[in-house]
Structure formats: C-alpha cells, structure tokens
Amino acid sequence: MLTQTIRQTSAQAQLRSRRPSRLRKYFKQGLITLLAFLVAAGLLNQIIPSPTIPPNVVFISPKYEYYQAHKDEYNTLFFGSSRVYNQVVPEVFDQTAQAAGLAVNSFNFGIPALRAVPGYVLLRDVLRDPPANLRWVLIETPLDKGYEPIENARTNPSIYWHTWQNTWFAIQYVLRSDLSLSEKVVIAGSHLVPLTYHYINVGRLFHQWLPITQFSEQEQRVSREVLANEGYFPLDSDEAPKRKRFLEDLAGYRQSVQRLAVAQQQAPAESVSPNQAMLLTRLIEAVEAAGATPIFIIPPTLETQANQYAAYRQGIIPELFAFNDPQQYPSLYALAQRYDVEHVNPAGAEAFTELVARSFIQTVQ
C-alpha cells in the first residue's frame, strides 16, 4: 500500500513537472509561428509592395486616377479638407482669374475629413509626378494634434498611408508638439494599429492580382459628380445630420460667430509650435520641388487659426489668404450662405471661391 502511494505521488510529481515544459513548448511554437507570419508578411510587402495610392480608397482613389489621366490640363491645384472639397469651385476660380487676364485651369484635390499629417502625405505623393505646367498650389491645412481616430484605424483611407516612413513622420509630429507626455504617448500610439494593418495585410496578394474596388452606389455617384465639377462637391442636402443640428441651434451659431469676431480683433497671442512649423515647411518644400508656388488658405471657419497667422508673421508661410474674420467677410458667415457650423452652402462656396480668386489675382499679377 505504501509502495503504491509512493508511486502515485511520484507520478503526480512527474506530471506537474511536465506541465511547465509543455507550456514552454507551446509558447515557443506560438512564438515561432508568429515570427514566421511576420517574416512572410514582410517579404510579401517587399515582393508585392502596395501602390502609393491603392484603387480602393474612398474619395482619394477616384480623384487620383482622374488626376493621373488629366493632370497636364491643370496649372493650379487646391489641397485641403472638406473646407476645400465642399467650398472651392474650380469653375468660378478659373473664370474669375481668366477675366483678369490670368491663364488658370484648376483642380480641387480636397478630401473630406483630411487631417494635418495625411494631408501632407497626400500632397507630397500627388506632387511627386506633377502636372507639366503646374504653377500654383493653394493649401488649406488643419494643424491638429496628429491623432488617428480609433474608428478610422482599420479603414482604407487610414491604412494605405501608414508606411514606416509616414508613420514615423506622424510620430515625430506628435513628439514635437506642446502636448503633455501622456497625451503624446496616447496619440503617437494611435498610429500603430493602421501601421500594423498596412504591413500585415495578407489580402494584399489578392488585391494586387485581382484588384476589386468596392465602392457603394452612393460613393460612385458622388465620385462621378465630383469629377464632373473638377473635384468640387456641393453641400446641398437638408437631410444630413450636420445640417439638421445647425438649423436646430442657429442661436448657438450666431453666438460662436460673435465670439470669433471679438477674438479676431484682439492681439494674436498664439505662436506656431515646432511640429506645426515642421509640417508647414514640408508642405512648402513639396510644392516648390514640383516647381510651383505655395499659397495657404484659411476658409471661413469658426476657429481663430492663430497658429497659422503666427506662422505667416514669422515667415514660415510665404503667402496667406485668410477669410475667417466675420467683420471683414460678413457675407460668408450670413445664414443665407451657411450650410452648417463649419461649411458654406453652394451659394457661399461660389462667393468664397470668388474672394479667393481675387486675392490670388492681386498676389500673382
């Protein structure tokens, strides 16, 4: 009986000793599998590199493909967020400039929700192969914190541009900011998810060999309308949530306009931070490398954009057209020409574009 008990105890001890070794074995095998996957993904990225701008990026790809086919027809390009996409009408700009004797043919490369870093990446990539007669590039850039929203981290518009080089630039932009260390860590980390998806994308093989652009019917309709208008898309739907919220709080909008008017009359105190200066300098360098002249624009937003004014005062920005002063440009803030808090309607877009064109004429003539 004692012998049997000893044997059972010994067997149990051996079994317990085997468990850690099995765990180590499974961990080792899992680690080897993960490393093999990462190596395979890296090799695939080298063998079949992703295009600079893939064909499945909503808003960007249709414009880029059209631009590649027609770029030598244009000598003026607009870049920016929805404040360009929905507010700059190339036809109005061209006609106004041409009436003053300037041979101008422009294209609107504005992209909805485009932020500071991806905006720079897009401009740089587009201008690597510039139009033969490119002369002017007008830029609207929101100098934001450099974050990558979680809800966008796994979408094509975010994944496509997160190469090692671009992600490092994004992280530099964050690290050189005036944010606290904890904010820098969180915001810099927000770029790691799209970076991972960019490089560990096993579906790339199929996208490259069998490219499939999956745009909804609405996205395809919008793209056709955008390209028919040289890249401009009017905001004219009363059913959009932003439009409804605007109409429900007109008093709040008026108060915001009054606060902006007061702020713009005060002495500007904000300065341009090192990361913002770096990004503005890179934008200028990309434009000048393409043989063109950069001009920066501040649309009729409700933001003071004091950092861009500071950049202009310091000579970082060579030319700045600013339209965010309600006292100087009251019509752009009138309810009759507003679509929502941050955008003008089609009538406002034509008025805004004409003002941009007149400032442009005075500058280049």
Q: Mean pLDDT per 10-residue run, the chain (365 residues)?
A: 54 56 63 54 53 80 92 97 97 97 96 94 95 96 88 84 93 94 94 86 50 68 86 92 94 96 81 94 97 97 93 94 96 96 97 98 94
Q: What is the pLDDT of residue 213?
A: 53
Q: What is the pLDDT of residue 1?
A: 54
Burial class for 196, CB neighbours closer than 10 Å (0-12, 13-18, 19+):
middle
Domain ranges across the chain: 1-47, 60-145+217-364
Q: What is the pLDDT of residue 6?
A: 52
SS3 content of the chain, % helix, strand, coil (to 5): 60, 5, 35
Instruction: Indicate the DSSP class of residue 152.
Output: G
For residue 342, the tally of other CB atoms under 10 A from its CB is: 18
Q: What is the pLDDT of residue 210?
A: 46
Domain 60-145+217-364 coded CATH 3.40.1010.20: no
Q: What is the pLDDT of residue 270?
A: 73
Q: Which helix (H) or strand (E) holds 3?
A: helix 2-47
Q: What is the pLDDT of residue 30?
A: 60
Q: Compute the distance between CA of residue 93 and CA of residue 104 in angstroms, rounded to an integer.
A: 8
Q: What is the DSSP string of 169-202?
A: HHHHHHHTSSS-HHHHHHHHHTTHHHHHHHHS-T
Q: Compute the distance between CA of residue 316 and CA of residue 327 in angstroms, rounded to an integer.
A: 26
Q: What is the pLDDT of residue 22?
A: 63
pTM of the model: 0.84
Whose structure tokens read 């096993």? Answer: 202
